[in-house]
Amino acid sequence: MLMIRNLHKRFGGLHALENVSLVLESRKIWSLIGPNGAGKTTLFNLITGTLPADSGKIEFMGEDITDMKPHEICRKGIARTYQQKNLFPNLSVFDNVVAGMLKESMEEQRRKERVYEILEFLGLEEKEKEIVSSLPPLDSKLVELGRALATTPKLILLDELVGGLVPTEIEKICQIVETLRDQGYTIFQIGHEIRPIMRTSDWIFVLDEGCKIAEGSPEEIRNNKDVHSVYLE
């Protein structure tokens, strides 16, 4: 589904990403871990067109998207959430989710039905009229996920979706992510919370100082000495 080849990105003299290559197949949960500053969010920004790559190639569904604009990449079927809250704070839950559908022409009734389907799936149907700025952290994260789902994506990038949540909330997010995979979505997630990463992932990539240092199954990553030396210890 997604193929990244020899991707490079510099910020001045800093190598944010250096010769990174990844391959993601469909209908799986892929995870990206590594220390702070390893280049994880930078990679997401390059995939979604928020930042331009210095060199390398990104292909999605066999098509080169390396130099496409963010809205073009979204139309191709890639959606994302953000590590920092990125919602319309003064709008309602309903309006934030429906914003993800505005790229497509659709009958108003069908648009509403689709939003309600998403809100019900996320357990937000009773909060549709609440203003987003008043929501607790878990609900804010679910609204952002709902807006991503509203774009009808094939691939969803989740940047620290469980960050700052308590264990019961993390469990709910894990269940939702696993259900999305079972429904046919492909998930690519960044995480610092190792337990949910190990639980949900089919495959894990590890970055350190802009370079991929390992990839493998959760069990392989758990037992990888190089990963322990830079991250897990």
pTM of the model: 0.94
Amino acid at 33: I
pLDDT in tens, 102-154: 877 788 889 999 999 999 999 999 999 999 999 999 999 999 999 999 999 99
pLDDT in tens, 171-198: 999 999 999 999 999 999 999 889 999 9
Nearest to residue 2, comparing CAs of 64, 54, 56?
64
Please return the burial class of 172, using the count of CB atoms within 10 Å of its CB with bins 0-12, 13-18 and 19+. Answer: middle
- pLDDT confidence bin for 233, thresholds 50/70/90: low
List phi, psi (to 5°) of 138. Answer: -60, -45
Domains and CATH numbers, the chain: 2-77+153-232 (3.40.50.300), 87-151 (no CATH)
Element (H, E) at 59: strand 55-60
